[in-house]
Structures are given as C-alpha cells and as structure tokens.
Amino acid sequence: MSERRCILSSTHADPAALIRLAISPDGDVLPDVRARAPGRGAWLGVDRATLEEAMVKGRLRGALARAFKGEPLTVPDDLAERIAVALRDDFMARLGLEAKASNLATGFDKIDVAARRGQVRMLLHAADAGDDGVRKLDQAWRVGEEREGEEFAGTRLPVDRDALSMALGRNNVVHIAVTNAAAAGRLSGLLGRWQNYLECANAAPSSGSAVVRHMDDDPAPLA
C-alpha cells in the first residue's frame, strides 16, 4: 500500500504507522486501526495531545470535512480516548494470538535462560514490573545479544501485569519475551504506533535491531 497523508500534519507515512478514521453508519467518526472499514477514510499521524488540541480549536473538524468531501459526520467528544483504547486493544489482541502460536515466553527464569541463549527477539515489561527484575532481564538480553555496555533494553508497556495476564490467559504476566522474529516484527509495529500516539516510547534506541538481525534465523518455539 502506498503512503498516506496525515490530515493534521500533512506528513506522509506508511499506513501501518498511521491511524485510520472512518465514518460509522450513524455518521460518527471512529477509529479504524486495522484499516478494514469500507468507504473513504482519513489518516492521523499525530500524538494524542496534538489531536486533542486540534479538536478544541476546530482544526480536526475542518480537516475531516475536507478528507470526507463534505459528508455529514459527527466527531465524538471522546474520540482521542477511543483511539487510545483501540490501539491498546489491537496490540493486546496480537499478543494473545502470538501466545497461542507459541511465539512468546513468560516467567522470569524461562526468559532469563532464553535471553542468555540469544533466543529473544523482543523483550517487554509490564508498567508495574519491579525495577530489579527489569534490570536483570535487560542485562541477560544484552549478554545473549553480545551487546553488553550498550543502551539496549526491553520496553515497558503502557499496561500493568493484570492487563497482560488477561490478554495472554496466564497468571501474573510481568515480563514477556518474543522468541520469533516475525512475531516481534508484527508486535513492534503495533507497539510503536501505540506509543507514538501516547508519547511514551521508552525502548532504547537500538532495541529493535535484534529483530532485524535474526529475521532469517528463528529458533524453535520454547516449550
């Protein structure tokens, strides 16, 4: 798919990095984060604060009117929150699918072993994960990737352990290791879009490089 233009910033980007808006049968403008709704769409590539400011100043309504060629529409007052929820749910649903496909490992000890063996492609931590556990697993990952001394670390997610446990159908999920490169790529794209919208991207600048380096070298899924 070709690039799309953000209706607020006028910048162009891959659709996978943007948020699509569509008009419901009732005329409401709603998030279509999977870009599957029929009909004309409008694309957003700004963070939540910028969107909320555009809503207050009326810029969003004008941009939507142009994007939808004057079609009757209603902009819900809670559109910014609906987008945040949709992005979260999309990422969490993908986590659940990857878990069912045995592309994830959970549990501190299991992740520690996998990380030191170089089998971890992406490392995630719950928002309420203890600093000591995060530090130890990040270090184990650096050891496995032979990147000790570098700013290379896992990512704290914008959700807590209870949300992760519910998404994966497991108890007390605090840390998640993605052990399949393709799965890491899918999750990375969804997470990056979500974090950019929330303005909370917190992974080390080089943390995605392990995904690229191992794209053709997937280990067998962990039991």
pLDDT in tens, 143-169: 999 998 888 999 999 999 999 999 999
CB-count burial class (<10 Å; 0-12, 13-18, 19+) for 131: exposed
Q: Output the pLDDT for position 213.
A: 33
Over the stretch 85-118, which tens digit does the pLDDT of each residue have? 999 999 999 999 999 999 999 999 999 999 999 9
Q: How much is the CA Rg of the chain, to the nearest whole Å? A: 19
pTM score: 0.88
Q: Which amino acid is at 28?
A: D
CA distances, 160 to each of 28, 173, 196 (Å)? 31, 9, 18
Asked if residues 161 and 129 have their Cβ atoms less than 8 Å apart, the reply is: yes
**What is residue 15's DSSP assignment?**
G
Distance (Å, rounded) from C-alpha 209 to C-alpha 69? 42
Statement: residue 219 has pLDDT above 80: no
Distance (Å, rounded) from C-alpha 196 to C-alpha 174? 22
Distance (Å, rounded) from C-alpha 222 to C-alpha 177? 10
Q: Output the pLDDT for position 194.
A: 96
Split at pLDDT 50, 70, 90, the class of 139 is very high
Query: Closest by alpha carbon to 124, among 153, 165, 98, 94?
Result: 153
Over the stretch 196-217, which tens digit does the pLDDT of each residue have? 999 975 543 223 433 333 333 3
Q: Output the pLDDT for position 149.
A: 86
Q: Output the pLDDT for position 1.
A: 55
Distance (Å, rounded) from C-alpha 58 to C-alpha 198? 21
Over the stretch 90-99, which tens digit does the pLDDT of each residue have? 999 999 999 9
What's the chain's average pLDDT? 90
Asked if residues 123 and 138 have their Cβ atoms less than 8 Å apart, the reply is: yes
Asked if residues 80 and 52 have their Cβ atoms less than 8 Å apart, the reply is: yes
